Amino acid sequence: MKFDVAVPAAALKEIPDLARRAEELGAAGLWSSETQRHPFLSLPLVAEHTTRLEFGTAVAIGFGRSPLTLAHTAWDLAEQSDGRFIMGLGTQVKAHIERRFSQPWPESPVGKLREQIAAMRAIWHSWQTGERLNYRGEYYQHTLMTPFFSPPPIDHPQIPIYIAGVNAGLARLAGEAADGFHIHPLHSLRYLREVVLQNLEAGTARAGRSPNKITRIAPAMVAIGADEKSRTKMRDLMRAQIAFYASTPTYRVIMQMHGWEEIAAQLSHMAARKRWNAMPGLISGEMLAEFVTEGSWEDIGHKLRARYSGLLDRVTLYTPLTTGENLGDWKKIARAIQE
């Protein structure tokens, strides 16, 4: 199992140091996200200031961009890093696509993301081989690529594409068409086995692929601390995060699986009325036990490896790496998970 790190929504001037620290602590990969910062702008700095670290987006919002725009970004990053870049795409939810990105929500999100993957690969194939670009789908048509706009071939043109998802349809799509699957941080072991793995395998079977071809990665919610006081503080942070995620209808499948659909409905009601501070109070100790791994810096790595063995290929902490972190503590986690 590989141990990766997430970087916070940090200023670009902080990225070189964060990237070097990630490589120094022994992490295998580094992931940026599309929250308060652009998901791609930091990554050339990661490539420049590391030599072995894999890196990518977890995730960039695919429906806010065209396949051609994504293809160009990935091509340049793969070339710069000698093939260390991984494209991670997510669909987001309807309200954000329509109201934040000002883009239309597709009738079939799974179908549109499937086309986005295929279109990018068709564009890359055209650039690498010089063959005519002729991709035609329901959502995307890419039929024009002249030499003036075609970048030259690169040494690592097989750029991995991971997608993210919560429900069965996107898990099946990952098995069918992607190279990896970013699992949502709100997950339980039962959800991993009964939803993620079963649907990944259904997708690979449909496409005639081996399940071993799909990398499974997830951020783990953790409550880490040297003493009970520090762990209690992290439990409170995780309660707030679980409450936020569980209030979103898209993620309700996970709550329903454990019989907590009424709690999820209450959280949605409270979120609509912006009662953010009251929401964590609905997250019980039983819920924390399902979603959060607790421990000290000395044993959390071993606990995560035991928890996810056979379920994940890569794991990262939901808590991002910052410039103020004690690298010695993070090295213990990296060694334990990757031993």
| Positive/negative CA dihedral, 189, 199, 219, 165 | negative
- Mean pLDDT in each 10-residue stretch from start to end of the chain (339 residues)? 95 97 98 97 98 98 98 98 98 95 97 98 98 98 98 98 96 98 97 97 97 96 94 96 94 94 97 96 97 97 98 97 92 96
pLDDT at 25: 97
Distance CA 330, CA 156 (A): 31
Structure pTM?
Answer: 0.96
The 3-class secondary structure across the chain, one letter per residue, is: CEEEEECCCCCHHHHHHHHHHHHHCCCCEEEECCCCCCCCCCHHHHHHCCCCCEEEECCEEHHHCCHHHHHHHHHHHHHHHCCCEEEEEECCCHHHHHHCCCCCCCCCHHHHHHHHHHHHHHHHHHHHHCCCCCEECCCCEECCCCHHHCCCCCCCCCCCEEEEECCHHHHHHHHHHCCEEEECCCCCHHHHHHHHHHHHHHHHHHHCCCHHHCEEEEEEEEEECCCHHHHHHHHHHHHHHHHHHHCCHHHHHHHHHCCCHHHHHHHHHHHHCCCHHHHHHHCCHHHHHHHEEEECCCCHHHHHHHHHCCCCCEEEECCCCCCCCCHHHHHHHHHHHHC
Distance CA 121, CA 187 (A): 30
User: What six digits make up the tokens of 51?
Assistant: 């030599």
Cβ(278)–Cβ(271) below 8 Å: no
* Whole-Å CA distances, 45 to 22, 31, 36, 110, 112: 13, 13, 18, 32, 31
In the CATH scheme, what is the code of domain 2-219+300-322? 3.20.20.30
The count of other CB atoms within 10 Å of the CB of residue 227 is: 8
Alpha carbon 32 to chain centroid, angstroms: 9
pLDDT at 149: 97
pLDDT at 323: 87
Domain ranges of the chain: 2-219+300-322, 227-295
